[in-house]
Structure 1
């Protein structure tokens, strides 16, 4: 009898311990999911920094990597940036490259979404709190107090389906692109083992919008392989759309009328920027002998589209960014600053933020009382959020640029290009990042971290809890413009 009485109590004690642990985690998440996200990002960066610091992670000499190089690589990997202070292809050992491959997939999926998936696996169900965490990753406006008025791309009750879509789509897309890349690797002269490994590596880097290359020389062996470059563009495009858009297209890709405003704005703005960026590169660089001046018309047009896609957050390049004209570098910086879609592997202020700002300007020019798009009214709260994102992003870029300029005394255009690339987690560089002293490396790492965590999430995490004000102060209009 005593034995029987003790067994249920043991099971009860075990459940109580797990329950207390879950309550503690729930209490941490309850106050601010955004702060929880930052803690997870910081924790992962710390773990990968320690791993990259191990002698086994470095190739050749057997000595460990310096702290600033290990930290910068860890931040660049987890934040899926693609910038590097070392030659990624030769500096790291096979163990180090494995860390890079695993890290970019973790960072690309998004730590909030990953945490929700782990919670679902552990508890075998997705509770309300976990749904709120995942929803805040797919729609940053949910982190603010109060209801969200606009129709969402993914509703709270559909988060479970979104998580399955995230895992399945990431796996399927990377595998399909990797298999399609293998013939190009074999043609380039690599054996079957290296062809397979490089293909999966490039596929992961394209879908996560990272831009690292595992082979010495990077894209040099594939500069005339338009099949391989097209696969990179497809991977970058799909990764930059955002998982809510992929989820919506998977459900109703034949029924555009059922797409939400978020999906339509993302697809429309992405297409416009892709075509406009290609047109600008074609116009500005067609006579540059160091970039496209020696190419025929067809390859010049193709490379212009390739560069337009990669400056949106892809990070791959067939030319040296330092060889671009100053006007083209400015266009690249503008495209990088915008980035890709919300809840995607891309960085930047996001295309929907830019779309809301243009819709607001258009509505103001017409004298319309509200913003409208695709037969729907967009609440003014989204305009305030968009302005906050742009101002916060511009502040990060400005402060980082001033500090880097003071440290390096490098040309302004090169500093601005690399800082925006770091903030937007793009990965393109004029060569400045690889030459930074340790103090500059730490500043650039902080820029990457703030860019990947997200301007909205970071601002909400740093701000105090919103207070409900039961009165209104007298109104007075300042002179603007």
Structure 2
């Protein structure tokens, strides 16, 4: 497995690195920046990595620093990152399930582990089709609303509709407004279409395909689809309720809104951290409770083989079922009428431990070079690793060394999480013997 895995993983890393360099060069062009905006290589590189890794963290105002050409480059990078990661994750998932081969001579085959170029074309074609359909529908609604409700001309309304629809489906979180989505927190025609696009993009192509074929028969869903859909709904509900409880009271960021506006703001607060990165409120003003809950939601993330980041809902729920089985004293971990393989349980544990190790190490490193509050730095680091893009507004205030750490986190969180999870699943060795058992004291 070693040679067959390391070569594709290396090619994936190189491909993303090349795209990052190309994006940085394009954003350094004078045509990408508005008059008076300096040509800062660090700003261009950070923005490129953030867009390519569909994160949304920014060190400059997207609306005023970049020209329409620069914004178009960012949108193109978002789609390259979103579609590329969805294709990579989907085909690696199929490889793990044994539906596709693992050998291929072409770069495209090596990158996606497809058994033939036709496999790559079919999967990428489906992803592009789903992306176009969802973004087109959401873009039409947003364009009409921007035109009718905010007095934008048709060209400007269309550009804003297309950009935000693409940013939402790819869970990127980039916005063409200085205050992101805060001016629209009470506008259902803006918030709800974006929430729908974020959720659909975060579910992943395998889940969307299964829902299209049998959405009326949940009993026939695979365990993966059941975990992804039900887990996403529960986390969305929990996040929405907690956001409303913590932010609707006196002094909260939703306190000035009516009941309808508070409901929309709470839905946005529950949906966007997993992992779109849009902010309908100012996260620099939210309570510590909201910041903590949001950090947890960001770390969990969305569905596998989608545009969302984090450790993924399925990973989190598999471990939850492991704990439940252990508490009950059951020998097997079962979900519905299916037993979960021990190898999957170990893979889930490995993913979480590796993620916690990376986040903790990065957090300590960032804390060592800045004196900003620990809770805000934790929020920032988890947001970068989970490719969310939410921030309390400290990104631009971080020193270049800390921003470089965030760039590495975004890259590893976007590409590394997929390749590591798939490598763990594919790295199966069968011994012809078993060693004597011993039980160390645990707890």
* 1:279 aligns with one of 236, 241, 261: 241
Aligned twin of 2:15: 40
Query: Following TM superposition, by how much is the alpha carbon of 1:322 offset from its aligned partner in structure 2, in angstroms?
Result: 1.1
Query: Following TM superposition, by how much is the alpha carbon of 1:363 offset from its aligned partner in structure 2, in angstroms?
Result: 1.2
Aligned twin of 1:395: 357
Q: CA offsets per residue over residues 86-115 of structure 1, 9 Å max, x none? A: 111111122211111111011111247279
Contact 2:273–2:294 (Cα < 8 Å) also in 1:
yes
Contact 1:418–1:430 (Cα < 8 Å) also in 2:
yes
What are the ranges of 5 or more consecutive residues in structure 1 without an aligned counterpart? Answer: 1-26, 118-125, 144-156
Measure, in 2, the Cα distance between the counterparts of 1:313 and 1:135: 28
Contact 2:90–2:205 (Cα < 8 Å) also in 1:
no
Measure, in 1, the Cα distance between the counterparts of 2:401 and 2:130: 39
Aligned twin of 1:165: 126
Taking structure 2 as the reference length, what is the TM-score of the superposition?
0.89
Query: Following TM superposition, by how much is the alpha carbon of 1:132 offset from its aligned partner in structure 2, in angstroms?
Result: 12
Gap change, CA 1:137 and 1:388, over 3 Å in 2? farther
Contact 1:165–1:247 (Cα < 8 Å) also in 2:
no
Q: Does 1:265 align with 2:227?
A: yes
Measure, in 2, the Cα distance between the counterparts of 1:196 and 1:277: 31
SS of equivalent residue, structure 2 residue 304: coil
Contact 2:241–2:266 (Cα < 8 Å) also in 1:
yes
Gap change, CA 1:176 and 1:91, over 3 Å in 2? same
* 1:317 aligns with one of 279, 304, 307: 279
* 1:83 aligns with one of 48, 57, 70: 57
Greater Rg by CA? 1
Q: Does 1:239 align with 2:214?
A: no
Query: Following TM superposition, by how much is the alpha carbon of 1:459 offset from its aligned partner in structure 2, in angstroms?
Result: 6.9
Aligned twin of 1:146: none
SS of equivalent residue, structure 2 residue 254: coil
Aligned twin of 1:93: 67
SS of equivalent residue, structure 1 residue 430: coil
Measure, in 2, the Cα distance between the counterparts of 1:164 and 1:216: 35
Q: Does 1:225 align with 2:154?
A: no
Query: Following TM superposition, by how much is the alpha carbon of 1:214 offset from its aligned partner in structure 2, in angstroms?
Result: 1.6
Query: Following TM superposition, by how much is the alpha carbon of 1:216 offset from its aligned partner in structure 2, in angstroms?
Result: 3.7
Aligned twin of 2:398: 436
Q: Which moved more, 1:253-262 or 1:365-374?
A: 253-262
Matches within 5 A, 1:236-385: 236-385=198-347
Contact 1:116–1:134 (Cα < 8 Å) also in 2:
no
Gap change, CA 1:273 and 1:131, over 3 Å in 2? farther
Contact 2:49–2:407 (Cα < 8 Å) also in 1:
yes
Measure, in 2, the Cα distance between the counterparts of 1:220 and 1:316: 9
Q: Does 1:185 align with 2:180?
A: no
Matches within 5 A, 1:404-415: 404-415=366-377
Measure, in 2, the Cα distance between the counterparts of 1:322 and 1:132: 47
Contact 2:20–2:45 (Cα < 8 Å) also in 1:
yes
Taking structure 1 as the reference length, what is the TM-score of the superposition?
0.82
* 1:176 aligns with one of 110, 123, 137: 137
Q: Does 1:53 align with 2:28?
A: yes
Q: CA offsets per residue over residues 166-209 of structure 1, 9 Å max, x none? A: 11100110011000111211121111100000000000011011
Contact 1:312–1:338 (Cα < 8 Å) also in 2:
yes
Query: Following TM superposition, by how much is the alpha carbon of 1:61 offset from its aligned partner in structure 2, in angstroms?
Result: 3.2
